[in-house]
Amino acid sequence: MPLSRRLFLQAAALSAAAQPVPALDPATLARFVDPLPIPPVARSSGRRAVPGLSAPAPFYRFAMREAAAKLHRDLPPTRLWTFDGCFPGPTLEVRAGQPVVVEWANRLPERHFLPIDHSLHGAERSLPEVRAVVHVHGAKAPPQSDGYPEEWYVPGKSAVYHYPNLQDAATLWYHDHAMGINRLNIYAGLFGLYLIRDDAEDTLNLPSGPSEVPLVLCDRLLRRDGQLDYPDSGKPDAPWVPEVVGNAMLVNGKLSPYLEVEPRKYRFRFLNAANGRFFHLSLSNGLEFHQIGTDQGLLPAPLSLRDFVLSPGERLDAVVDFRDCAGESLVLANDAFQLLQFRVARRKTPDTASLPAQLRAMPRLAESDAVRERLLTIDEYQNKAGESVGMLLNRSHWSMPVTEKPVLGSTEIWSILNPTDDSHPIHLHLVRMRILDRRRYNVMLHQMTGQLRYLGPPEPPEPYEAGWKDTVRAHSMMVTRFIARFDGYPGRYVWHCHILEHEDNEMMRPFEVVAP
């Protein structure tokens, strides 16, 4: 019997055990015993015609399948939902300006193995239990290929999407986006990287090949049998919980792995693929990150950082130079959690890669370019016991009429008022944004009278947020302003909080780009 099939059968048997299994304490596992896995790069399987294009485009097929993987040397295999049996899924690498066609095939089981809350909108008992639709996060894609949450399909079906890739080189990612169960599907493993490359980036001679390493971060709760443990409220008819934060930190699908590196420059593409955890990252010996990019591509110049924060959905592109660390071991840490060990070889090798002083000019997007400023709120609702039962954007449920209708080609400023105790990563599909500022405001006065009174001067974004973004943290008790030009395509898209438990419980709204 093939090893992959044997692992799957073992995981399925463990997951189906009738008796409750105690929780795993990851601190009881040995650290740095597994090498860091690198997701495989997807290969095209021919070419496919695209309406409106004169030549066929490279064609890829990704199948969502149940599989099993060992998250740690000393754990049994874990039951997962994957793309092509990989966790994370295969990396899709494309060239800017060169379109591709992708078939996203649903080959998942008919039943879900995580707790569905049928009281949530879009997850009613009348709907199929297992549904999926794929969104490429950060892509400038036509609406019919964006992965609209209601355009899900069931096992045995598939969707064929066209990605024009008319955008700068950037670190994007793909993941499930099915209405009402998105948090469960991603927690089960349905995500992977989508890298856009272009000629301008190629000329920079940044670290490449084995010296370019993706670092996909997420956290999970695990049982001692190695299986995923997704928490619930304890209420059989309403198992939804406001946030899920795990104690098992995974890097490229492994618990506390190690990476052998040479004393030279490496490029690391960071992605926070967690449901709700914010990662605060640093290196144990104080070594600097030289940030070269944000969500939507390169910065104008490298930025030296000792640490940075990534909220769910955010990416950061950085170069780390290990030349002065020959023979050492150092650790990538998330506060007290040790995520990944770097083992630096003693023997120095030639390093021909560069870290240029200038990277990429950023087009100016001035506030005076904006034709409209929208004032939008985050609204939390609690029950009598003070428990959060859901959040809305601008006091609007998903099914209410669309209220945000930017004109194609126009520039707008969106101001997000956040009276809650949490920071919320707000993601807009289709567009890229620049953060303008954040400013404290009198929350009580606004809630009582609707009057907006600021309590201090505008605060600029963190230096590592100053590039092009598609996911912006709206901080607690502050107004966060960002500016975006609605280029691309007319049609219906969505904006939402990227804390997945919030998104699945109505903290998502459609917006419509209308033709001029």
Residue 12 has pLDDT above 50, yes or no: no
pLDDT value of residue 384: 75
CATH 3.40.50.450 at 367-513, yes or no: no
**Taking residues 358-374, what's their average pLDDT?**
95
Q: Which of 89, 67, 63 is CA-nearest to residue 9?
A: 67
* pLDDT digit string, tens, across residues 73-116: 999 999 999 999 999 999 999 999 999 999 999 999 999 999 99
Cα–Cα distance measured from residue 255 to residue 38, given in angstroms and rounded to the nearest whole number:
14
* pLDDT digit string, tens, across residues 256-290: 999 999 999 999 999 999 999 999 999 999 999 99
Q: Fill in the DSSP letter of residue 371.
A: S
Percent of all residues in the chain with a pLDDT value above 90, rounded to a whole number: 92
Residues 443, 448, 451, 454, Cα dihedral to 10°: -20
What are the structural domain ranges in the chain? 3-22+31-200, 209-344, 367-513
Question: What predicted TM-score, i.e. pTM, was given to this entire model?
Answer: 0.95
Note if the bond before 88 is cis, omega within 30 degrees: yes
The 10 Å Cβ neighbour count of residue 470 is 26
Question: Residue 502: in which H helix or E strand, if any?
Answer: helix 500-504
Residue 1 has pLDDT above 80, yes or no: no
Cα–Cα distance measured from residue 335 to residue 343, given in angstroms and rounded to the nearest whole number:
20
CATH class of 209-344: mainly beta
pLDDT value of residue 7: 46
Ordered DSSP codes for 421-482: SS-EEEEESS--EEEEEEEEB-HHHHHHH----BSS--BPPPGGG-S-BSEEEE-TTEEEEE
19 — pLDDT class (breaks 50, 70, 90): low
Question: What's the first-to-final CA gap in the chain, in angstroms?
Answer: 60
pLDDT value of residue 359: 98
Q: Average pLDDT, whole number, for the chain?
A: 95
Cα–Cα distance measured from residue 259 to residue 401, given in angstroms and rounded to the nearest whole number:
50
User: Pairing between strand 258-261 and 424-428?
Assistant: unpaired
Whether 209-344 shares its CATH topology with 367-513 is answered yes
386 — pLDDT class (breaks 50, 70, 90): confident
* pLDDT digit string, tens, across residues 135-168: 999 999 999 999 999 999 999 999 999 999 999 9
Ordered DSSP codes for 5-58: HHHHHHHHHHHT-SS--PBP-GGGSPSS-SBPP-PPBP---SEE--TT-SS-EE
| Distances in whole angstroms, Cα of residue 369 to Cα of each of 341, 373, 396 | 46, 11, 28
pLDDT value of residue 91: 98
pLDDT value of residue 385: 75
349 — pLDDT class (breaks 50, 70, 90): confident
14 — pLDDT class (breaks 50, 70, 90): very low
pLDDT value of residue 256: 98
- Residue 131 CA neighbour count, 13 Å, CB half: 23
Q: How far is CA 397 from the centre of its chain?
A: 23
* pLDDT digit string, tens, across residues 25-66: 999 999 999 999 999 999 999 999 988 888 899 999 999 999
Give exposure, 223-257, as e/b (b: 16+ Cβ within 10 Å): bebbbbbbeeeeeeeebbbbbbebebbbbbbbbbb
* Bridge partner residues of 334 (DSSP): 281, 337
Architecture per CATH, 3-22+31-200: Sandwich (2.60)
pLDDT value of residue 5: 46
pLDDT value of residue 6: 44
Residue 441 makes CB contacts below 8 A (sequence gap 6+) with: 417, 452, 453, 454, 455, 477, 478, 479
Q: Which of 248, 218, 228, 222 is CA-nearest to residue 337?
A: 248
pLDDT value of residue 487: 96
Q: Of 173-177, 209-213, 321-325, 388-392, which gets the smallest average pLDDT?
A: 388-392
387 — pLDDT class (breaks 50, 70, 90): confident
* Bridge partner residues of 107 (DSSP): 65
